[in-house]
Structure 1
Amino acid sequence: MATPDAVTVLKHSLVSPPSSAAATEMSLPLTFLDMPWLHFSPIQRLVLYEVPQLSRAHFIEHIIPKLEHSLSLTLQHFLPLAGNLIVPSNSNSGTPEIRYKNGSSLALIIAECTTTDFNYLTANHARNCRDFHPLIPELKPSTEDDSGSTARITPVLALQVTLFPDCGMSIGISNHHTVGDAGSIFGFMKTWAALSSKFFEDNIDRDDAAATLVSYSPPCYDRTMIKDTKGLGSIFWDQGVVFLKLFQHESSTDTTAKPMTKKVRRSFVISRNNIEKLKSLALQKRPQLVHLSSFTVICAHVWTCLVKCRGPSGEQVGEGEVEHFCCLADCRGRMDPPLPSNYFGNCQTVIRKNEKNGKLIGEEGFPIAVESIGEGIHQRLKNNDSLFDDADTWLPGIAGINLDRVVSVAGSPRYNYYNLDFGWGKPKKFEFISIETSGAISLSGSRESDGDIEVGLSLSKPRMDAFTAIFNNGLDSL
């Protein structure tokens, strides 16, 4: 079990792009797609690698220098991640932006953990959420702009590499969502891993390795490609004040997640075979579905199981209460004009559906959920006009619902962290840490098979036990 002093910090490092980086400054104004994320807690991920017989000496003398150098070289293509979020005090003082200046850096913590069982952390069974907290870096609190303005400055990314002697290591990632969505952050991690792995190969010159990646799909930062024809940027900026008061954050750039230490987290693997069985069951019950995918059947199964497990775990819920489902969809290729797949920033739309509790807990709960989620996806993505047609209701809509009745989705199997090899093999475990505070479920690829999907949840222990039984029984009955 982890304790507050479970991790010993070995080094605080500040990593900057190399001084030879082409750009010395970069300013990226937030688009209307970045703006809604101003007031959300940081996104936190953890990747754990098994490296048997890894000593502290080898970790410090050989692994860390290569990680730091490859990170620096990677940042020359991802300058915003070494920069800061600049948020004016009000709309009259300008608009928020991500700003990189020459000399800017990101915080990298090098640490060691000797009190927590590595195999326990990398298992799929229920584990205490608090055992993961020491492995995740915190973004530094916002500070006042030293240029004399009233703006607040907040780092957008922090990293932590933690040694587990003789077992392996972990890489913890904390980022502010305004700097980029899941695809953007994964693109950075994928590039860093690819460059790092080159450094661990024999007879590879470091400069040659860096040159190899210069032309490898560099990120696109062109904000002029995003047209805000409805003035949503200003709407989201104004609505943010209300959103801020609703959740009583201390500032619009509060980056401190508030962990629910009584929760446990658990991973569930849905095999390719069971995914196909879920699709067949959905089609059998609803032959005229407008949209059917692995995503819809997985989310529908998890959603209905989460609703059904409330009663057995001791919660009192009326069948007339409304249950909500929410997910995000990448829309780079659907924009007008289309954005390149390597566009760096946020480019997602919101899909929301709701159903009465009584419908979801009944025998037809699963096909109802599949149909509901599929219709939501179909309606949102059917054409360019529908992508953001009700976007002005996204933030206000949160204020009017019971957040305990919301199931949202974090991550995507498209961004498979199990494929990130920094030079010592692929991960043994990936965890979406911030679902503990957001209440979302996480989806990722699986370490077991390319066709399997891993679902992550963070719940109270009684509710997790009830969910596990209902979830497994549902799959066993297919």
Structure 2
Amino acid sequence: MVVLREHKLVEKFQVGPAVRTITTLPLTFLDLPLAGPIYVRRQFFYHFPHSTLHFCETILPCLKTSLSQTLQHFFPLAGNLLCPPPPHKPFIHCTGDDFVTLTIIESEADFKNLSSNRPKSLKDLDHLVPKLTCSNTHHDTFIFPLVALQATVFPNHGLCIAITYCHVMDDSCCSHFMKSWSSICRSGGVDFTLVEKSTPCFDREVLKDPKGLEAIFLRDYFEERSTWKVGKTSEVSNGNSEDYVKATIVFGREDVEGLRRWVLNQWKRSKEFNTPQYISKFVVTCAFVWASLVKTRCRNDEEEDVKEEFFRFAADCRDRLEHPVPKTYFGNCLTLCYAMLKREDLKGESGFVNAVKVIERAVADMKSELFKDAENWRESFTKMFVLGSTLIVTGSPKFTVYETDFGFGRPTKVEMAHSFKGMSLAETGDNEGGLEIGLVCTSTEYEYLISLIEQGLQISKS
């Protein structure tokens, strides 16, 4: 029996910056908690009714040239993160031989399904993202390539351009890079207006450490480093045989407004003194999904209802610090926040309202004290994973990922590949003010979750 390969390697390229930069870039105190084998993966799906040959002859040359031109401005991305043994700090090393790997794949998979909001196999999505693998020198220095790119052609149907990157930069930086690359590519490699007007800022002096956190984060980093393994890849599925699927749930503007009105009315009925007048789209939607997800996953675990559930998210600090950081700052400029509830308080009738209250409180705490309890971040997050269940938010509608146009139109779908502990956020592709929320769960969980969400939306409109 002949087994046809669904994914075929067409070619693999090593693309370097158009102009080489030889330097080192230190990590800041906000990079340290995210340094190492922590990866982010994003996929951009485009309508592309052409053959692989057409892509290679007409699109690929400009895609490579514009990538090289973009890397000239984002030169650290072609380098490597070097993590020497203690007491040395990690840093980004840029040499004259740096490059980013761009892999071209031809796929016979179902483009329409993979680029839809419907549940699709996590393993199928994993084939569309490039892999990053760390290595180690004989001096016990870990080496992490920062970025890998992949273009997957679905002949006569579509195209997927995917990025995997090491978390030496945050999502804001990634969005800046992808929009710069796509803008240059869209112009045929002649218009550099976008990147020249928003040149990446590599100045580490703009980021101050007001609480002296670097020493604490460096200690935590060295402890975490001792657990790393050589060869660990950026794959999501890791061979898990369980039928995990990734699906997107779309909340339109009216859905969000209905949930907001309903939860505010419920909050006011409780006659609490501190009832807010307004709740953000982020808080109300995330609280609704968090409560629904816990009710779904724990519907048969009544014996563990006292277990703690955690909701973890990050907030951009660029315009919140005493000394504002440029919007184009390259690196991580995030504070890490979380909310916690007992499982029984999320599963009950007031689960949605309870979730809104604790997430709203976490946001308010962040605004009043940006790095509250930051000295205990590692201890707190370790506890979350050991003693409770954690849902981690990635992405944001603020990044406007659907504006990433390489010259063949806006993406028909933007995905993030992550584990079942993740929840990805993006603006809706129709640009109508809604939210896309991506979740990973089993097929059975998905059916139950959707019924819960539809029921909750219906109640909010009554």
User: Structure 2-normalised TM-score?
Assistant: 0.92
Task: Tell me by how many angstroms 1:124 deviates.
Answer: 1.3
Q: Does 1:100 align with 2:94?
A: yes
Q: Does 1:111 align with 2:101?
A: no
CA contact (8 A) 1:300 1:373 kept: yes
User: Please, which of 149, 172, 175 is the counterpart of residue 165 of structure 2?
Assistant: 175
Q: Which runs of 4+ in 1 moved over 4 A?
A: 314-317
User: Please, which of 60, 67, 74 is the counterpart of residue 71 of structure 1?
Assistant: 67
CA contact (8 A) 1:35 1:236 kept: yes
Residue 222 of structure 1 aligns with an amino acid whose one-letter code is: D
**1:47-78 C-alpha deviation (Å, 9 max, x unpaired):** 111112x1122111111001000111011110
**1:378-410 C-alpha deviation (Å, 9 max, x unpaired):** 11112xxx2113111111112223466111211
Residue 364 of structure 2 aligns with an amino acid whose one-letter code is: H
Residue 412 of structure 1 aligns with an amino acid whose one-letter code is: S
Task: Tell me by how many angstroms 1:45 deviates.
Answer: 1.0
Q: 1:140 to 1:402 in 2, by over 3 A?
A: closer
Partner of 1:356: 342
Structure 1 distance, partners of 2:159, 2:136, is 32
Task: Tell me by how many angstroms 1:29 deviates.
Answer: 0.5
Partner of 1:133: 126
Partner of 2:81: 85
CA contact (8 A) 1:311 1:317 kept: no
Q: 1:75 to 1:217 in 2, by over 3 A?
A: same
Residue 12 of structure 1 aligns with an amino acid whose one-letter code is: K
Q: How does 1:308-323 map to 2 (within 5 A)?
A: 308-312=295-299, 314-316=300-302, 318-323=304-309
Partner of 1:303: 290
Q: Does 1:416 align with 2:400?
A: yes
Residue 79 of structure 2 aligns with an amino acid whose one-letter code is: G
Structure 2 distance, partners of 1:450, 1:71, is 31
Partner of 2:333: 347
User: Please, which of 2, 25, 47 is the counterpart of residue 50 of structure 1?
Assistant: 47
CA contact (8 A) 2:36 2:167 kept: no
Task: Tell me by how many angstroms 1:441 deviates.
Answer: 0.5
Structure 1 distance, partners of 2:328, 2:124, is 35
Residue 188 of structure 1 aligns with an amino acid whose one-letter code is: F
Moved more, 316-325 or 263-272: 316-325
Q: SS where residue 17 of structure 1 aligns? A: coil
Q: 1:40 to 1:305 in 2, by over 3 A?
A: farther
Task: Tell me by how many angstroms 1:43 deviates.
Answer: 0.7
Q: 1:131 to 1:97 in 2, by over 3 A?
A: same
Structure 2 distance, partners of 1:4, 1:395, is 46
Q: How does 1:434-449 map to 2 (within 5 A)?
A: 435-436=418-419, 439-449=421-431
Task: Tell me by how many angstroms 1:169 deviates.
Answer: 0.7
Residue 12 of structure 2 aligns with an amino acid whose one-letter code is: H
User: Please, which of 377, 381, 384 is the counterpart of residue 394 of structure 1?
Assistant: 377
Partner of 1:30: 27
Q: 1:276 to 1:214 in 2, by over 3 A?
A: closer
Q: SS where residue 331 of structure 2 aligns? A: coil
Task: Tell me by how many angstroms 1:30 deviates.
Answer: 0.5
Residue 440 of structure 1 aligns with an amino acid whose one-letter code is: G
User: Please, which of 188, 194, 198 is the counterpart of residue 217 of structure 1?
Assistant: 198
Task: Tell me by how many angstroms 1:249 deviates.
Answer: 3.8
Structure 1 distance, partners of 2:10, 2:234, is 23
User: Please, which of 234, 238, 241 is the counterpart of residue 256 of structure 1?
Assistant: 234
Q: Does 1:282 align with 2:276?
A: no
Q: How does 1:218-237 map to 2 (within 5 A)?
A: 218-237=199-218
Residue 339 of structure 2 aligns with an amino acid whose one-letter code is: K
CA contact (8 A) 2:36 2:144 kept: no
Q: List alignment gaps of at least 5 residues for structure 2.
A: 269-274
Q: How many residues align?
A: 448
Q: List alignment gaps of at least 5 residues for structure 1.
A: 200-205
Partner of 1:17: 17
Structure 2 distance, partners of 1:352, 1:401, is 10
Q: Does 1:194 align with 2:183?
A: yes
Residue 429 of structure 1 aligns with an amino acid whose one-letter code is: K
Task: Tell me by how many angstroms 1:422 deviates.
Answer: 0.3
Partner of 1:202: none
Task: Tell me by how many angstroms 1:241 deviates.
Answer: 4.1
CA contact (8 A) 1:198 1:423 kept: yes
Structure 1 distance, partners of 2:322, 2:23, is 25
